[in-house]
Amino acid sequence: MPLSGDRLRAWEPASWPVAHDWQPVVRQFLGSAVGRSLGAFVQDRIDAAATVYPPAPFQALAETPLAQVRVVILGQDPYHG
């Protein structure tokens, strides 16, 4: 199972829930060169026993339909512990 505990265990975005209207956006990104590169990088880090957060990377996309989104702000909390 890719999601377990408090960290990501495998790069398996097809198994992560996403709201229906986000699916084409996510599919396009994951199929792009940048999306494939990101997936390879994250899986390499997981394979190297690195702790990768969060355990459910697309959780916000499952909880908030694209039609309700007006602004997306990306950021990272550098102090997860």
The whole-number pLDDT of residue 73 equals 84
Q: Are 39 and 29 in contact (CB under 8 A)?
A: no
At 64, phi and psi to the nearest 5?
-130, 105
pLDDT of res. 81: 61
Dihedral sign (CA 32, 37, 14, 17):
negative
The active-site residue out of 6, 21, 44, 77 is 77
If you average pLDDT over residues 6-26, what whole number do you get? Answer: 92
What is the pLDDT at residue 80? 60
pLDDT digits (tens, 9 = 90+) for 25-80: 999 999 999 999 999 999 999 999 999 988 888 999 999 999 999 998 887 766 66
Confidence at residue 5, expressed as pLDDT on a 0 to 100 scale: 65
Is residue 1 scored above 50 in pLDDT?
A: no
Q: Is 77 a catalytic residue?
A: yes
List, in order, residues 6 or more apart from 40 with CB less than 8 Å away.
Answer: none
Predicted structure pTM score: 0.75
